[in-house]
Structure 1
Amino acid sequence: MDLAIAVTVFGVLFALLALGAWVAISLLIVAGVSLMLFANVPMGQLLATSGWSSVASYPLTALPLFIWMGEILTRSRLSSDLFTGLAPWLGRMPGGLVHANIYGCGLFAAVSGSSAATCATVGRMTVPELRKRGYDDDLILGTLAGSATLGLLIPPSIILIVYGVATEQSIARLFIAGVVPGLVLIAMFTAYVMFRSRLDPKLMPAAEAALPIRERLRQTRSLAPVAILIAGIIGSIYGGVASPTDAAAVGIALSLLFVWISGDLTWRVFRDGLIGATRTTCMIAFIVAGASFLSAAMGFIGLPRNLAAWIGGLGLPPYALIAALTMFFIVIGCILDGISIVILTTAIMLPMVTAAGIDPIWFGIFLVIAVEMSQITPPVGFNLFVIQGMTGVNIFRIARAALPFFFLMLGCIVLMVVFPGMATWLPATMMSR
């Protein structure tokens, strides 16, 4: 009976997704069909209560604020200042200015929280400049696609907020937990580019002449607004001064102030940023409400509990369970976007994960890195679509260029399994003070 329920639920869900139905609509239909077939529950009342409780959440109010902040910065010259400030220091490194993709994405990820926004913003700045200077196109596109996924992991991360709300975990702890794995990924991406440049020097143009230190410092000043913004957001959270929601409001105030000082704060920028943030927030809230209804329906028919018991009965050790889940997320990432993956799977996966003795904070970071991998896998790799829209390059060529970064993220997961403290040590240390 449990197998029939699982096959029916997942069969209907994947059929709807294959037909191109909206994710939120698919979730609502699957929940309704499940309740009609396998439970005797007042559907309308359950939909109203679960849907409202999922979106009427104080921690979730940080989501539209961080999205709005990213929309504002994307439309201002502060984003282009990243390249100006980083370029003088990267030109003499092995790999040259290709590193601007990596560090630019790392910096912008810390103020946008979105992989797609990071990809679009940094790509607009770096791709034309790197092409003009003669860098290999595949290396440009691959580093951009892979590094832009850092927007999902480095705080403030939209997807970590969604995971924290869905699993009732501390968003502040999740933010802190994402710092070390994010820095490790940046180091791995940097090492790969340096290795490739040494292996095949033809991928790079001749090294540029070094600028005088005074000129480097002068150009680095353009990073000051971004650095202050990051310090204001992350510092207020880590210092215990503000909650993630309060820090998001600080980020909005600072971003509006800096954009106003730079002269880019027009009525059109303000309006378009607000409309863009509203659209994105409504889409995510609709999915969250649908997923909450589905989670409640699954609870009434007992699927998560029985599925967790079945997996637990297999006697898989934690390492084997993580390996199986990694393969599952890679496959499902080929057809779903990151937020949908998190919302769809947490209700079912978390009971079996906690039963296996895996820390929910650690699992959240693992899940986000797995979702990062899905951002660069066709056919539904959001970063691939963003880069294709900017450059016109075939999506499968972009995916091939990003393949080394896929394996680097897989390597990061292996490191997290071997050294779980990568995700748990910093929040345990900082939150225990």
Structure 2
Amino acid sequence: MISDPLILTIALFGIMFLLLLSGLWIGFSLMASGLAGMLLFQLNLPPTISIWDKIGGLLANSIWNSTNSWSLTALPLFILMGEILYRTQISTRLLNGLQPWLANIPGRLLHINVVACSLFAAVSGSSAATTATVGKITLDELSKRGYDRGIAIGSLAGAGTLGFLIPPSLIMIIYGILSDTSIGKLFIAGIIPGLLLASAYAIYIVIRALLNPAVMPEEEEHYTFREKLRSSRELFPVLLLIVIVLGGIYLGITTPTEAAAIGVVGAFGLALWFRNLTLANFREAVLSAVKTTSMISFIIVGAAFLSQVVGFVGIARALSLYISGLGLSPYLLIVVVAVMYLILGMILDGISIVVMTLPIVLPIIVAAGFEPLWFGIFLVFMVELSQITPPVGFSIFVIEGISGERVGNILKATFPFFLIMILMVILITAAPEIVSFLPNKMVE
């Protein structure tokens, strides 16, 4: 039996890596790691309660709490919307329409993931839904056209995390409630960092394309302005659908879940309009959406159970208390806190990280002279990083499910975008005005 939470953390990491490398389903691996943590930790339970009763209670609680959410219904709906757009070749029309406009930009259609994820992030507010929906539309299409699959996957993983930074953001809402910070100011504060992050991804793609033109198809096409306008007819139907879905949310007419349902109906209507919807491809779209949703839901349940175990045995609290006792300078404190969140991101989902650590970490940060508003955006970045941090990088698993690529290949493709996000964290730490500029202007 292990009584030290820090030693138990190391043991859990080892077990988790072994299970994931063994090829076991990800959801099972996460649940089994949580089970091992409960069995290894020295618990002081009453004689009337067995360890298996406690494990069963935690498992049932995590399954119910992680899936009993109305907002979660937006996930399968947005996935189905992407499947219909993909299966009925409407996604091909979207890329055909964008091709002339991006033809003269290094990287060309490789920029589509950054643009599409930014738009869908504003629609869904969910990293998983954004990654799954956009990935279904773009990944195979880019591969067919001869674009480098590694950059396509990496940009999807990186840009898919924008769902936490671009409003409406569930993480910002939770942080605002727990820290008594204005949620409206948090939404506004995330705009400039979100745009900077998306721009940094685009700049990286441009640089890669200039250094290695092989990441794009060899043929270079030139289009007149009239041809670009003509190609926009291919874009109009899908962009109209996105505007309707987005507009409903921003005008307060629909919730994200209702907007997702409208998106499914709209995608279905477009498929009928273009006369490329058959019973066969509609059936494929529905079945694929069910499989993807089941895969993501299973991972959510497994991650929720592991998070419950981590909280129950006191790992997050032990790390937070250890850092608070070090007596570090302000910027060294931020570095240590960032490393702590990276470690927690390997074994916890983003919401659990915020809920478990904030009551202990926030007072330390404020005492060191940092603003709660700034720390909220910093924390969002750290949660975004946790989405692409092994072994429990949620976006990594989603991409594995929709692309069929090995986790190792996905991690290799994602690493440059991980470093870009780290640089953005350094930038907002060195220049906190990036976060506070817009909220201060709004107050004035």
Q: Same fold (TM over 0.5)?
A: yes
Kindly indicate whether the alpha-carbon contact (under 8 Å) linking 1:74 and 1:117 is maintained by their aligned counterparts in 2.
no
Give distance in 1, aligned partners of 2:35 and 2:173: 23
Partner of 1:26: 32
Match of 2:382, SS? helix
Kindly indicate whether the alpha-carbon contact (under 8 Å) linking 2:303 and 2:349 is maintained by their aligned counterparts in 1.
no
Kindly indicate whether the alpha-carbon contact (under 8 Å) linking 1:188 and 1:408 is maintained by their aligned counterparts in 2.
yes
Relative to 1, partners in 2 of residues 1:35 and 1:99: Cα closer, same or farther, differing over 3 Å? Answer: same
Kindly indicate whether the alpha-carbon contact (under 8 Å) linking 2:63 and 2:301 is maintained by their aligned counterparts in 1.
yes
Corresponding residue to 1:153 among 150, 161, 168: 161
Corresponding residue to 2:350 among 337, 342, 357: 342
Instruction: Look up the equivalent residue of 2:39 and give its one-letter code.
Output: V
Whether 2:69 is the aligned partner of 1:57: answer: yes
**Offset, 1:290:** 4.3
Gaps of 5+ in 2: 122-128, 367-371
Instruction: Look up the equivalent residue of 1:107 and give its one-letter code.
Output: A
Partner of 2:380: 365
Whether 2:421 is the aligned partner of 1:413: answer: no
**Offset, 1:428:** 9.7
1:177-326 pair list within 5 angstroms? 180-195=192-207, 208=220, 210-316=222-328, 319-324=331-336, 326=338
Relative to 1, partners in 2 of residues 1:372 and 1:102: Cα closer, same or farther, differing over 3 Å? Answer: farther
TM-score by structure 1 length?
A: 0.73
Partner of 1:81: 93
Match of 1:323, SS? helix
Give distance in 2, aligned partners of 1:78 and 1:376: 35
Kindly indicate whether the alpha-carbon contact (under 8 Å) linking 2:31 and 2:306 is maintained by their aligned counterparts in 1.
no
Corresponding residue to 1:118 among 128, 134, 141: 134
Relative to 1, partners in 2 of residues 1:368 and 1:16: Cα closer, same or farther, differing over 3 Å? Answer: closer
What's the Cα RMSD here? Answer: 4.6
Kindly indicate whether the alpha-carbon contact (under 8 Å) linking 1:116 and 1:148 is maintained by their aligned counterparts in 2.
no
**Offset, 1:312:** 1.7
Gaps of 5+ in 1: 132-139
Kindly indicate whether the alpha-carbon contact (under 8 Å) linking 2:172 and 2:380 is maintained by their aligned counterparts in 1.
no
1:367-386 pair list within 5 angstroms? 367-371=382-386, 373-374=388-389
Give distance in 2, aligned partners of 1:429 and 1:260: 47
Per-residue CA deviation, residues 232-276 of structure 1 (Å, 9 max, x unaligned), is: 233222222222222222222222222222233333333333333
Instruction: Look up the equivalent residue of 1:269 and give its one-letter code.
Output: N
**Offset, 1:216:** 0.8
Kindly indicate whether the alpha-carbon contact (under 8 Å) linking 2:100 and 2:223 is maintained by their aligned counterparts in 1.
yes
Whether 2:75 is the aligned partner of 1:67: answer: no
Give distance in 2, aligned partners of 1:269 and 1:427: 47
Kindly indicate whether the alpha-carbon contact (under 8 Å) linking 1:59 and 1:161 is maintained by their aligned counterparts in 2.
no
Give distance in 1, aligned partners of 2:253 and 2:416: 40
Give distance in 1, aligned partners of 2:397 and 2:440: 33
Whether 2:362 is the aligned partner of 1:354: answer: yes
Partner of 1:135: none
TM-score by structure 2 length?
A: 0.72
Instruction: Look up the equivalent residue of 1:189 and give its one-letter code.
Output: Y
Give distance in 1, aligned partners of 2:136 and 2:391: 14
Kindly indicate whether the alpha-carbon contact (under 8 Å) linking 2:111 and 2:205 is maintained by their aligned counterparts in 1.
no
Per-residue CA deviation, residues 19-53 of structure 1 (Å, 9 max, x unaligned), is: 34523422541464367724446524454344323
Kindly indicate whether the alpha-carbon contact (under 8 Å) linking 1:84 and 1:219 is maintained by their aligned counterparts in 2.
yes
Kindly indicate whether the alpha-carbon contact (under 8 Å) linking 1:233 and 1:251 is maintained by their aligned counterparts in 2.
yes
Kindly indicate whether the alpha-carbon contact (under 8 Å) linking 2:157 and 2:414 is maintained by their aligned counterparts in 1.
no
Relative to 1, partners in 2 of residues 1:403 and 1:4: Cα closer, same or farther, differing over 3 Å? Answer: closer
Partner of 2:125: none
Kindly indicate whether the alpha-carbon contact (under 8 Å) linking 1:76 and 1:264 is maintained by their aligned counterparts in 2.
yes
**Offset, 1:217:** 0.6
Relative to 1, partners in 2 of residues 1:46 and 1:373: Cα closer, same or farther, differing over 3 Å? Answer: closer
Relative to 1, partners in 2 of residues 1:2 and 1:203: Cα closer, same or farther, differing over 3 Å? Answer: closer
Partner of 2:126: none
Instruction: Look up the equivalent residue of 1:148 and give its one-letter code.
Output: L
**Offset, 1:179:** 5.4
Kindly indicate whether the alpha-carbon contact (under 8 Å) linking 2:139 and 2:153 is maintained by their aligned counterparts in 1.
no
Give distance in 2, aligned partners of 1:384 and 1:149: 7
Q: Matched residues, percent identical?
A: 30
Kindly indicate whether the alpha-carbon contact (under 8 Å) linking 2:59 and 2:305 is maintained by their aligned counterparts in 1.
yes
